Amino acid sequence: MTATVHIDLDAFESNVAHLVSLAAPAATWVAIKSNAYGHGMVELADNALKAGASGLAVLDVPAALSLRTHGVTATLFAWLHGAETDFAAAVAGGVDLGVSTFEQLDAIAASPGVGRVHLKIDTGLHRNGVSEAQWEAFCRRAHELESAGSIRVAGIWSHLADAGDESDAKALSRFDAAVAQSKAIGLSPEVLHIAASSAALRNPGSRYDVVRIGIAAYGISPFDDVDGEGLGLRPVLRLSASTDGGSVSAGWFDGIPQVSAASGAWISGGGTPLSVTAVHPRITEVAGDSLPPTVDIIGGEGPTMEQWAAWSNTIGDEIVTGIPSHVRRVFVRG
């Protein structure tokens, strides 16, 4: 096990600060789902807040509660729930809950205390959210529960698919209509939110009150036509590995994407680009017979995350979250 992930907290803070100022006056919640996209949830949570984020989007209730226990007092937003979700603990922990079903709404209302909920309208992505057909009934139920003092409807939200200007415009107009309908029913949401990185960066009209920024905070571009640097972002993650002089002592088991020699992938050996010829589970072979003791595979003197994403026909999110937890993380500055 010789691969090491180096997380540059200065770069992460600089990205968050940049995105916070870009999105203002909308507030920024940084998405730290999937162990902060493989970077380390607790460390990045603290640093996101230090850099000006006003909240954190964490996927599920256990992650939110672990951050509360850690001492985070800022808004924590969790939206992915299952049959086992402990809503009573979430309400007691002051977690803001995204809700997509009547069952979730009722379960939160039945919990002691006043749960803060954000109603999710499906604006076209079809990845949970209440359908337009059910929206009115959903808002009426929420209003009833709010009037009874069982919940507080703190927000209305959705997720923009980033499926082109026309479909995004359609999704935003569906969102506006759903918000108007909720207000007509008597709801008074404090925050409206729909934009993740791509919309927040390129579509100011999608920012509403809060943007939920994931991938861009990690210095990775959500776009095909520009890399992180081109967006004023700094790379946060560097993956290095030791060598035995002839080959790299890490492979796809350690998160190196399984590219072929034909992909054009390379790594850096002391600043010299070395073509990747084969990625095995524990070993990566490169052209050249004498390697320095350590090589940069992603970031540092090596290629960018976006280059690896292109070589392996995927997106940067998959590469960072695909680096397994057995690979040592070290946190550095500068």
Ligand X SMILES: Cc1ncc(COP(=O)(O)O)c(C=O)c1O
**Residues at the site binding ligand X, with contacts judged by CB under 6 A:** 31, 57, 79, 159, 196-197, 212-216, 222
Amino acid symbol at 96: D
Chain residue whose CB lies nearest ligand X: 214
Whose Cβ is closer to ligand X: residue 158's or residue 249's? 158
Give the tokens for residue 96: 């803001």
Residue identified by tokens 């002592």 is 249
Whose Cβ is closer to ligand X: residue 5's or residue 31's? 31
In sequence order, the β-bridge partners of residue 242 are: 294
CB of 31 to ligand X, least distance (A): 4
CB of 301 to ligand X, least distance (A): 26
Whose Cβ is closer to ligand X: residue 119's or residue 279's? 119
Whose Cβ is closer to ligand X: residue 237's or residue 274's? 237
Whose Cβ is closer to ligand X: residue 105's or residue 216's? 216
CB of 52 to ligand X, least distance (A): 16
Name the burial class of residue 285, with classes exposed (0-12), middle (13-18) and buried (19+) by CB atoms within 10 angstroms of its CB.
Answer: middle
* Rg over CA atoms, the chain: 22
- Stated as kind and residue range, the H or E segment containing 103 is helix 102-109
d(CA 171, CA 72): 33
**Where are the strands (E) in 126-262, listed by range?**
151-157, 191-193, 210-213, 237-242
CB 57 within 8 A of CB 75: no
